[in-house]
């Protein structure tokens, strides 16, 4: 009985606090930033940053902002 009660309490707590975990949406860019093809990687990064800025200006994705990270 006790393991069932504990599981029920844990499940209800998880479902209650699950919707409170809002944050930025992180978008990772995997592109060449060194070597012969670094110019392409820079263009990819700038394009992703421009797209993220456009999305954020329109209100984000479901009200959450996105940010671009590389490396």
Model pTM? 0.65
On the question of pLDDT at 23 being above 90, the answer is no
pLDDT confidence of residue 15:
65
4 in a structural domain: no
Q: How confident is the model at residue 51 (pLDDT cuts 50, 70, 90)?
A: very high
Alpha-carbon gap, residue 29 to 45, rounded angstroms? 7
Comparison of pLDDT for 10 and 48, the residue scoring more: 48
CB 47 within 8 A of CB 31: no
* Residue 10: per-residue pLDDT: 76
Tell me whether residue 39 is in a domain: yes
How many domains is the chain built from?
1
In a domain, 14, yes or no: no
pLDDT classification of 20: cutoffs 50, 70, 90: low
Question: Domain of 65?
Answer: 22-70
């Amino acid at each position: 009985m006790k393991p069932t009660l504990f599981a029920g309490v844990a499940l209800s707590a998880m479902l209650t606090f699950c919707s409170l975990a809002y944050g930025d949406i992180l978008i990772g860019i995997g592109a060449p930033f060194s070597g012969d093809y670094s110019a392409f990687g820079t263009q990819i990064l700038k394009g992703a940053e421009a797209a993220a800025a456009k999305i954020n200006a329109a209100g984000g994705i479901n009200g959450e902002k996105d940010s671009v990270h590389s490396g």
